[in-house]
Structure 1
C-alpha cells in the first residue's frame, strides 16, 4: 500500500454548493419573518442547505457523536490533572452513561460512537467494538520522541477515513466530533503553535480540567520542547502528526478530511478537534467549509485555530469538560435553523395579497 499524501485531499474536496446556497438565501428573503430577525440561524440554515445540496434545507435526522480515544505519553510529565494512561476511564464513563456527553446524548436521542485509536490499557478492559481499531497502545512522549512511527501515522489517518466512510454510508447527516484523551491538549497546542508560527506560551491553556500554575508551566515547557521537534517537518502533514500528534489526533484528521470529501458536515468541539481541523486545512484549504465551530472552550490554541480557519463558534457557555459536550450543545441550534428555514411560510405574493384583501372588503 502506497504512503498517504494528505495534499491529495485538495483535489478531492469541493466547496458546499454555492448555487444551492443562493437559492436558500433567496427563499429566506421571501419568508414572512423579517430578514435578520432570526440572527445567526439564517446563516446556519443556508450553510447546511449548501452542504446538503438542496433548498429548502432538509431536517437533520441522523446525527451521530463520534469520539476518538487515546492516551499521550507527554501526560507522564504531569501536564494534566488526570493520571497518565487513564483515558480508558473516560471511555468507560461514556459507555456507562455517566459522563456529561453521555447524559446529553441520551436526553437528545443522539447515538454515540467511541473509537479507540491509541488507548494505553489492556484491550479486555473495554468492549471489542471499541478497541478493535487501535493503532498502537498510547502515543510517544512528544517532547523527546515521535508520537507515532510513519507507518502508524498512516494507519491512524486511514482509520479515521474508514470511520468517516462508514458513517456517510450509514446515512449519518451530521457528526458531532470530540476526543476522549489524557494529555491530548498538549499535542493539540503544539500543532496549532507550529502551524500558526507562535510561541508555546501563546497557545498553552489549562485543559478541560483546569490545572494549577505549576502544572501550566510544565505543560508550557512540554509544548516548547515539542515545537522544536515539530518545526523541521512542517512541510508534511503526515510527518507532523507522527512527530507531535498521536494516534487519536491523526485519526481525527483523517476523519475530518474524508468527511469533507464525502460532503458530510461536522461540528467541532474543543482544542483537540480544532488542532486536527487546522492540520486538515493545511492539506485541503476548502475543507473548513464543511465544519462548524461548536463552542468556545477557553483554550487559547482553539481560538487561534478557529481564527486561522475563519470559523466563528456558535456557543460561549464556559463549557470546558471536552469529550464533545460543547459541540453537542450546539446541535439543537443547527436543527432549529433547519426546521425554521424549511417550515416557515413564505410571504404571499403582492398581487395575491391585494386580491385577498379586496375579497375580504366585499
Structure 2
C-alpha cells in the first residue's frame, strides 16, 4: 500500500446534505436542474463548503512509452509519444487549446518517454525509457510503479500550491490503451475481447492481434486481481501509475478530479482499489468510444457528464466538462432564494 492512503478521508456527506437542502430554497422547482444539482452536492462533499470554488483548474499531462508497442498493437510508431510531448510543450495540442479556453495552468511531465527529451515546458521526471514489453517480462518493477505514483502525488502538490481548485489529469503514450486494457481485464475479470477497442485507429485484423497480445501478456504475468499495485507494475505504464498517484493525491488534498476517458478511468479504478474513499473525489468528464471505458465506468458506478464520441485522451474530454462544474458552483453561489426574490415557493392548490 502507498503511504498517501493514510491521508485520505471520506468526503463530507453532511456538507452535501446542507447543499441539497439549500438548492431546494433556490428559485426553481426542486430537482429541476437535474444532474447539475447532483454535481453541486458532490463538489460540496469534496470541499466541505456550501459554496465551493473550482477555478482555476490545473491540467497535468503525464507521458510515457510502452514496451508492448514492439508487438505492433498501435496504428502509430512509438516515436509519436515524444513528438506529441513536443506539441504539448509548444501549446499546439487539443488539450492546450481546451486548457486555454478554461484558464487552466498546464504541466507536461515526462515520466517515461523512450526518447531523450530536453524541452522547455516539460518537467523531466523520467524513471526509465518506457516500460518493458509485458508479453516478455513485467512492465516495470514494483518500486518503479511506486516511484511513478510519487511523481503524480508531487505534481498535484505543486498544482495545489499554485492555487489550483480542480484537477484534470491527462496522458500520452503510444500503446497505452493496450496496457490499460490488460489492467482492466485483470481488475474486473472481464474477457479481453470485451475491453479492447480501436485505440488510435487500428483495423479489425489489428484489433484481433491486439487482443491476442494482451491475452498472452496476462497469462505470462499472472498478476493477482486483488493486488492493484501488482497489476499496475506487471501490466501497466509509468504514466498510468502517475495518474493513479494524482487521483490519490487529489483525494488527500480534498480537490475534485475530473476523470478523462478510458486510460484515465483505468488509473482511477486502480486508485479506488488502493483506497475506496478516493471514489467520492472523482467526477467523470465524458464517455469514451473505447469499449473498455464502459466496463471501467460500470466498475466504478460512474455516470459521465458528456457523451461526445471522443477517444483522444490527453485530458481533452475532462477539460470540456469543466464548465459544467463552474456552472454548478455558480448556481449555488449566485441564484436567488425564493425569500430573496420574493417568489412564492408553494404550488397553487
TM range (shorter): over 0.9
| Correspondences of 1:249-288 after superposition (within 5 Å) | 249-288=240-279
Q: Aligned pair in 2 of structure 1 residues 335, 349: CA closer, same or farther (>3 Å)? A: closer
Partner of residue 16, structure 2: 21
1:249-304 CA-to-partner distances (Å, cap 9, x unmatched) read 11111111121112111011111111111111111111111001111111122211
CA positional deviation for 1:131: 4.6
| Correspondences of 1:324-343 after superposition (within 5 Å) | 324-343=315-334
User: Does 1:292 find its partner at 2:287?
Assistant: no
Gaps of 5+ in 1: 355-362
How far apart in 1 are the matches of 2:164 and 2:336? 28
The correspondence for 1:193, drawn from 179, 185, 190, is 185
Q: Aligned pair in 2 of structure 1 residues 118, 237: CA closer, same or farther (>3 Å)? A: same
User: Does 1:237 find its partner at 2:222?
Assistant: no
1:30-51 CA-to-partner distances (Å, cap 9, x unmatched) read 0012222212111111111111
How far apart in 1 are the matches of 2:262 and 2:322? 18
Q: Aligned pair in 2 of structure 1 residues 230, 339: CA closer, same or farther (>3 Å)? A: farther
The correspondence for 1:38, drawn from 33, 36, 40, is 33
Would you say how many aligned residue pairs link Structure 1 and Structure 2? 344
How far apart in 1 are the matches of 2:185 and 2:316? 25
CA positional deviation for 1:24: 0.2
1:132-184 CA-to-partner distances (Å, cap 9, x unmatched) read 21111111111221111222122111111221222223321101111111110
1:302-355 CA-to-partner distances (Å, cap 9, x unmatched) read 2111111111111001111211111111001111111112110001189x779x
Q: Aligned pair in 2 of structure 1 residues 206, 21: CA closer, same or farther (>3 Å)? A: same
User: Does 1:344 find its partner at 2:335?
Assistant: yes
Task: Check the 8 A contact 2:155/2:246 in 1, yes or no.
Answer: yes
Partner of residue 172, structure 1: 164
How far apart in 1 are the matches of 2:182 and 2:261? 15
How far apart in 2 are the matches of 1:305 and 1:47? 20
| Correspondences of 1:211-230 after superposition (within 5 Å) | 211-230=202-221
CA positional deviation for 1:26: 0.6
Partner of residue 64, structure 2: 70
TM-score by length of 2: 0.93
Q: Aligned pair in 2 of structure 1 residues 349, 169: CA closer, same or farther (>3 Å)? A: closer
Partner of residue 357, structure 1: none
How far apart in 2 are the matches of 1:173 and 1:347? 30
User: Which of these two proteins has the greater Rg computed from alpha carbons?
Assistant: 1
Q: Which moved more, 1:322-331 or 1:93-102?
A: 93-102
How far apart in 2 are the matches of 1:42 and 1:234? 36
Q: Which moved more, 1:233-242 or 1:214-223?
A: 233-242
Partner secondary structure for residue 248 of structure 1: helix
TM-score by length of 1: 0.90
Q: Which moved more, 1:16-25 or 1:30-39?
A: 30-39
CA positional deviation for 1:238: 2.2
CA positional deviation for 1:72: 0.7
CA positional deviation for 1:123: 2.5
Partner of residue 347, structure 2: none
Q: Which moved more, 1:230-239 or 1:170-179?
A: 230-239
